[in-house]
Amino acid sequence: MEKKLRILLADDHAVLRAGLKLLLNAEADIEVVGEASDGEEAIAQVNKLMPDLLLLDLSMPKLNGVDCIEKLMKSHSNLKVLVLTMHDDEEYLRAVLSVGAKGYVLKKAADVELLSAIRTVARGEMFIYPSMAAQLVYRQLVNPKDKKSKDTKVKHLSERESEVLRYLALGHTNQEIGDMLHVSVKTVETYKARLMEKLEMRKRADLVRYAMDHGIIE
- Residue 155: what pLDDT? 53
Shared-domain flag, residues 15 and 102: yes
Shared-domain flag, residues 38 and 125: yes
With bands split at pLDDT 50, 70 and 90, how would you rate the model's confidence at 28? Answer: very high
Domain boundary among 107, 141, 175: 141
Residue 218 predicted with pLDDT over 50:
yes
The CATH number given to whatever domain includes residue 91 is 3.40.50.2300
Shared-domain flag, residues 92 and 190: no
Distance separating alpha carbons of residues 165 and 117, to the nearest angstrom: 32
- Report which listed range, 24-28, 84-88, 110-114, 189-193, is most confident: 24-28
- Residue 107: what pLDDT? 87
The pTM of the full predicted model, rounded to 2 decimals, is: 0.65
Shared-domain flag, residues 127 and 156: no
Residue 29 predicted with pLDDT over 50:
yes
Distance separating alpha carbons of residues 101 and 93, to the nearest angstrom: 9
Distance separating alpha carbons of residues 86 and 22, to the nearest angstrom: 20
Shared-domain flag, residues 65 and 160: no
Instruction: Please give the average per-residue pLDDT across 48-54, as a whole number.
Output: 96
CB proximity list for 133: less than 8 A, separation 6 or greater: none
Compute the mean pLDDT over every residue in the chain, rounded to the nearest whole number: 84
Domain-located, residue 71: yes
Domain boundary among 104, 126, 141: 141
Domain count, the chain: 2
Domain-located, residue 218: no
- Residue 145: what pLDDT? 52
Which is nearest to 154 in space by CA: 194, 92, 213? 213
Least reliable range by pLDDT among 8-22, 50-64, 123-137, 149-163: 149-163
Phi and psi of 127, rounded to 5°? -130, 125
Q: What is the pLDDT of residues 132-173, one digit of tens each?
A: 676 666 565 555 554 433 443 345 677 788 888 888 888 888
Domain-located, residue 91: yes
Distance separating alpha carbons of residues 14 and 19, to the nearest angstrom: 9
Instruction: Please give the average per-residue pLDDT across 26-55, as a whole number.
Output: 95
Shared-domain flag, residues 190 and 83: no
Shared-domain flag, residues 75 and 118: yes
The CATH number given to whatever domain includes residue 182 is 1.10.10.10
Domain that holds residue 56: 5-141
Domain boundary among 110, 141, 172: 141
